[in-house]
Amino acid sequence: MNSQARWLMHWGRRRAFAIVALALVCVTAGVAYAVTRSSSSATATASTGVVNISQSPAGKVPAGYLGLSFEIRGIESYTGTDPKAVDPVLEQLIRNLDPDQSPVLRLGGDSTDWTWYPYRKGPHPLGVRYSMPSGWFAVVKSLVQAVNGRLIIGVNLEQNSAAVASAEARAFVSKIGSPWLEALALGNEPELYHGLVWFSLKGVKYYGRPGVWDFPTYLSNYATILKSLPKGVELAGPDVGSVPWTADLGSFLSAEPRVKIATIHRYPLKECSPSEHVTIADLLSNSATRGFADALEGAARAAHAHGDSIRLDETNTVSCGGAVGVSNTFASALWSLDAMFELAHAGIDGVNVHTRQVPNQLFTLAQSGSRWHGVVEPDYYGLLAFAQAAPANSQLLGVSGASNGPLHVWATRAPDGTERVVLINMAAHGSETIDVKISSAAASGTLERLLAPSLGATGHVSLGGQSFATDTSTGQLTGATTSTVVNRSASGYQVSLPVASAAILTLPAS
């Protein structure tokens, strides 16, 4: 694994799992939901539809719902290595997604089980690729303090060493501090330990768990290593990504009452081998949008039945690092905007979108001397649109009515009474005109649009007329805000929705 390409291929294989697509055929109360769940087509002709927004509260978007996920090994490529000068562009990009909130940041990924904290002299344990220096802790602490955040951090389980896990966990507690720790997560995707090569030595392949390795064996092993972790620190787990092991989430939580945050991984698509190839149409299909989230409803029910919260603490468009021509296009912005609502509909309490230096990245940051600058990718715009449409503790409102398959509609009511309706046209061809019926007393509302030249565009994205500079040094949108006044009529608020675009209709509190 001397080349980056081979490393990424190995990383990708560890992210492969089955995608379960379930068709939702009935309207479900509880959160805002897409209007129609019947068509998988990504094209439509021009049409007019009517949607009705219910005023009955149907759940809410909790504070800290939207967060980011980084590799333990790669976080310093975003922050830099100086704890006194952490990348201010990164800090602002995080704040944008959680304004006036305490964002939950996850540090983990494959590097969870490739990392240790050197607690004794001697050679590194076999399988360890990264040793956390003291400076790493200082940088991470500076970042989380700057954004007033909370951390979920992975602890090495694949090493199968109580000493390694204990030293690492205690270093997190002592060097970062419990006020900034949301939870520690023991292991990363343990279902893959016996099936994928952990490391090679002199031509011999070694696996994290040779021989029999099933869910009951994992539970026993987890319990053994868990005893070495410090008491009084909240735990998250099991950080599994495969469908069969996710189905055992209830059994895991029953066996491990110390775990209070259920964490799972899921991507709608995978491209992990030369024979696999995904497209924009795949990303915007029913199975990758509505079906992607619907498949997690069982896990959410299991967590809530145990009185625990549940986070999808690693997700993005395509596993195995993403797919060029899909993950880095405007289609990913429409997908991410919709997915955050879809996941709330499934009962997920929080989401961490994984970013790394591959096509799935949300932004690329670099340092020139003392100046940080970067490029913001389309996917991030979709998350930002969600953050604007669903402020912390917004009530989620129900939606009903007819629409074409590629049209997804959601609605929220913010704590200050402001109501917002989000309309997403995922079609490659064909515009929509929608009459939005809502009992708001507002005589008029404002409409802001999420736009790009096409679904496949990799740049020239705008939100409300604003964009990030090509080489942003602030992490803030620039340009004049543009919005359209939409007057209320007998038929409601009429909104035109161009092909491959989204819009946020904001109605002020009465």
| pTM, entire model | 0.90
**Contact between residue 320 and residue 272 where contact means Cβ atoms under 8 Å apart:** yes
How much is the pLDDT for 401? Answer: 83
**481 within some domain:** yes
Nearest Cα to Cα of residue 300 among 270, 254, 343: 343
How much is the pLDDT for 510? Answer: 76
**74 within some domain:** no
Contacts for 212 with CB less than 8 Å, ≥ 6 apart: none
The secondary structure of the chain in percent helix, strand, coil, rounded to multiples of 5, reads: 25, 30, 45
Specify the 3-state DSSP secondary structure of 313: strand
**How far is residue 78 from each of residues 29, 392, 444, measured CA to CA in Å?**
40, 26, 42
Q: Compute the residue count for the chain.
A: 510
Number of domains in the chain: 1
Q: Which domain holds residue 443?
A: 47-60+393-507
Beta strand spans in 320-414 (E): 350-354, 363-368, 371-376, 394-401, 407-413
How much is the pLDDT for 9? Answer: 40
Beta-strand pair 150-155/130-131: unpaired
**Contact between residue 294 and residue 22 where contact means Cβ atoms under 8 Å apart:** yes
**486 within some domain:** yes
The answer to whether the peptide bond before residue 230 is cis (omega within 30 degrees of 0) is: no
How much is the pLDDT for 24? Answer: 31
In angstroms and rounded to an integer, the radius of gyration of the C-alpha atoms of the chain is 22
**Contact between residue 117 and residue 86 where contact means Cβ atoms under 8 Å apart:** no
**449 within some domain:** yes
How much is the pLDDT for 6? Answer: 36
**448 within some domain:** yes
**164 within some domain:** no
**356 within some domain:** no
Q: What is the pLDDT along the chain (510 residues), one digit of tens a residue?
A: 433 333 334 434 444 333 333 333 333 333 343 333 333 334 444 557 899 999 877 778 999 999 999 999 999 999 999 999 999 999 999 999 999 899 999 999 999 999 999 987 767 898 899 999 989 999 999 999 999 999 999 999 999 999 999 999 999 999 999 899 999 999 999 999 999 899 998 999 999 998 899 999 999 999 999 999 999 999 999 999 999 999 999 999 999 999 999 999 999 999 888 888 999 999 999 999 999 999 999 999 999 999 999 999 999 999 999 999 999 999 999 999 999 999 998 999 999 999 987 899 999 999 998 899 999 999 999 999 999 999 999 998 999 986 558 999 999 999 999 999 999 999 988 888 999 999 888 999 999 999 999 999 999 999 999 999 999 999 999 999 999 999 999 889 999 999 999 999 999 997
How much is the pLDDT for 414? Answer: 95
How much is the pLDDT for 25? Answer: 30
**10 within some domain:** no
How much is the pLDDT for 122? Answer: 67
DSSP code per residue over 188-225: S-GGGTTTSEEEEETTEEEESS-S---HHHHHHHHHHH
How much is the pLDDT for 404? Answer: 56
**Would you tell me how many other CB atoms lie within 10 Å of the CB of residue 179?**
8
CATH number at residue 475: 2.60.40.1180
**Contact between residue 492 and residue 434 where contact means Cβ atoms under 8 Å apart:** no
Which stretches of 212-356 are DSSP H helices? 215-226, 243-247, 249-255, 280-283, 290-294, 297-305, 330-345
